[in-house]
Structures are given as structure tokens and as C-alpha cells.
Structure 1
Amino acid sequence: MFIEERDNETWSTPYKFNGKELDEETGLYYYGARYYDPRVSLWLGVDPLAEKYPNVGGYVYCVENPVRYSDPTGMGPKDRVRYARNMVGVAYLQETNSFLRTASTGEALKYMDCAEFVCRIIAKDNITDGVKHMGSGALKVFLDNKSKFEHSDKPQVGDIALWEGHVGIVTGVDKDGKIKVTHARGKGKLSQENPYFITPKQYRDASFYGYYRPINETPDSSNPATISTTNSTNSAPENEKVYRGKTLQEVIVTGSRINKTEEKPKTE
């Protein structure tokens, strides 16, 4: 079944594929950067960021992996967003040992605080040469370098959002400038992307320093990126399968089938 044929029997919503509004005149979805034709499942224009993805076709969506990545405007996904979302589910712990904050072993990746979470992401994005041992205060000093970073009060996807005592990666921005942040959240919690768009003040009642982004962005990777949070030296258990550096628990689904017979109309 083609996407444009899917409909609700009681009400036909104009917001269909990926929550985008369908233009009934053209039958196309408008993403802001280009139009999408659901009848042939193709973009009608080349990705404006295609030059950053020489190994990926200019007409593909989300590096052909829409389950894992999002592309809300029709432009290529940013690496920092991918890296941040790949590290959700990590337990929180403030560690002072530099090895545990910078190494890539299973032991070092088992726990992270908010600053380590961001330091690993900006290292993966080649903003720093390797993972640096910095707390949120040291990160502010690092990001305040005006020759390397732009500071703004207007968020963009991929920005580093910095509060007094906290830091995270902006992984979503709505039309009102509210944000979704993916971050290490605090004691007893796992790292995650907050589910709703909020203002910095709504998230944390502390001084908000603003949004930071590199003046010279590193080219986005043409391949889906992974920061493994599992120990690569250990083999996965037999009931788990490895997917892009992480293990997925095997799930067994059981069910039963009920045969429903139709009543024949009575005859006199």
C-alpha cells in the first residue's frame, strides 16, 4: 500500500508521513528544504547538504535508516545528534578518574555524567583531539573561545546547550524555539532525549549560558555513526544479537489464533 493511500476511516488528517502536511493539489509533502513524493517514495530535489555525503545518494532519506535517524527539514542529519542519541540509556555517575572519563573500554563507558557525555560526542565529531577530561565549568571555558565557537541565544539542532552545572546536546528545535536535549540526566537516571520541547528555564532552574556551535563545522559523516557503550572485548550472550555496536535482547512473541466464522443469513 502506498503511503498516500493510508487513511482513517472516520477522518482524513492532512498530517500523514512523518507528521508532514500533505498538499492535496500536488500530492506532495513539503519538508522546508525539498518536496517528497509519496507515490514513488522519492524526493523531487537533491539534498541541499548532498556535498557533505558523497557516498550517499542525494535523494535518499535519513541515510536510508528512518527508524534510527530523523530528518525534519529534508536536510542531512547532524553527527552530534546521531552520536548523542546513540548513547541514550547510559547510567549516571560523576567520576574523577581521567581514564574512566576518556577511555573507550566497557568499564569506562558504563557510567557518564553530563560533561563526559558531551566531551565524548564532541571528540567523536572531531571538535577535540580525543576525549578530554572536562567538567561543565571547564567546558564553558573551552566553548567561550570566540575564535572557534559561535555563542547564541537562538538554538539550532546539534548545538551544545550549557547551564551552570549542566550541559547537553540539542537534538530538536520547534517553531517557538523550544528544545529537546539529549543528555546525562542525574543520579539514578539514564541518559535520554527529553520527550517534550521545553525552554532552558523549564528544564533547569539555574543560569543558562546559551547555545554553542563550532564556527567551522566538521563535515557530517556519510555513514551512520556509533559510539559503542558495550565492552567490545566481551562476546554477546547467546540470546542477544549485536546491532551497530550495541546488543539487542532477543524477544520471543507468542500468540493464539481465533477462527471467526460468519453467521449465514436465516432463510424461511
Structure 2
Amino acid sequence: MMNVLAAGAVRSVPMIPAWSATLFVLAALWWLGFFIAAIRTKELRVERRLYWLGYGGVAVLAGLGLCFRGWQTGAGGAGFVVAYTVLYAALKTPYLKIGNRLITASDSDRRRDERDCGIAPRRPARENYATSSPAKMWWLLVFFSAMSAASVLLPHDGDWRSWIVPVMYLVYAPFIGVLDGRGRFPVARRQWVPAALVGVASVALYGIPVVLYAAGYIVGRRLPVSYGWYYDKAVHQDEEGGDGVATEPSRDVSRSR
């Protein structure tokens, strides 16, 4: 009986052809090469090109490698890599730049791009989080809270993977609360609309994220005042002249960003 089941399992799982496995290995080596080159350079323009060339090559090679399952699978695999690349670039890097417009949720990366362009970066705002403004951060929390609610409410077979997003969200909630409380900011840094949506979505998790945020906020209020390592680092960079790039404080970059 066990032999019959094993034989059926082997037949149900398609073997990866040698040419496909070779393409996957080439994709990994391609990405590794561009990653090493990117961390060895200090020029943002070069980093940006290496990022898109690296992930672009991975998308092409991975898509071709999946074509043994059909062209639809290959196109879907390549599309997934492209979507991940664009999303990560917009959230975590200064690499998504179209003309003079930088698209990023990270305030620190925006300042880095301004220094790279020879422009005096705007002074950091105390109310900003390490990677983004309060509005962007809380709308991102709305997205994660909705994903967590969907993971709990939609039918699933109890697979542990369906709890990954809710658990991450529950860990993140008190951390945000501590940051807000320690900086002596108002609750949710006055982002009332997204905060209300987060509260509604948290009902699916029995309101636990709201309780954890409130607990973190109370703890933060009892800690010494701090605006976060990012703010202190940004102020220090301004005092030291950034990273040595000549700046032009007279230029207004508010319209081009």
C-alpha cells in the first residue's frame, strides 16, 4: 500500500528538467553578483541601476525556468518577481525614481536621494517614523490589519502559514505604541481615519492589536523621551554636512519630489 502511495506521489509531482534547474541556478548567481556589486558601491545612481538590472534578470530567468509548466506559469512567475521588486523598491529603497520624481515610503531614503542630487535635504520631522511619515505608516497598518482580518475570517484548513501575517501584526502593534508613547506624540500621531479603520479590522482578532498598541503606548510614556534613532542620526548628518556631498540649500525640491 505504501509503495502504491509513494509511486502516485512521484507521478503527481512533475520533475524539473535539467535546463530549467540550470536557469534557476543562473538566476540565483545573477542576483548574487549584482547584490555584491551594489553593496560595494557608494553611488546611489549606480546602486539604482544594479538593483533593477539584478532583479530584471532574475525575473526573465525565473520566468523562462518555469515555462516547463506552461507559458502562463512562466509569465506569472516573472510577474511575481517584478511586482515584488517594485513594491520593495517603493517601500524600502530610493531606487524607484521616474525622471525627477522619487517614489518611496522611506523618509531617510528620500533624504539620501536629495543629498545624491546635490540638494540640501529637508530637515527631519520629529513626528516621522524611521521609514515614513505618520500618514503612510498608518495606511500601511490599515493594509496589514485588513490582511490579518482576511486571514482569520476566510475559510482555511488551519495551515500555520495562514497565521504568519496576523502574528507579525500582533508583534508590530505594541512596537508602534512604544514609539508613539516614548516620543510623547498623540495616540496614532493624529491619524484618526486610518487608526479607526485599523480598529475596525482588529475586531476579527478580538481587538487584541488595539490592546497591545495601548499597552505599548502606556509603557512608552513611562520611558525617557526619544524621537528614535532615525531622527537623531538625521540631525547628526545635517550637522556634519551629510555624507560629504556639496549641497545647494537655495533650491526648492518640494515640487519635484
Report the TM-score, using the length of structure 2 for normalisation.
0.22
Which structure is higher in helix share?
2
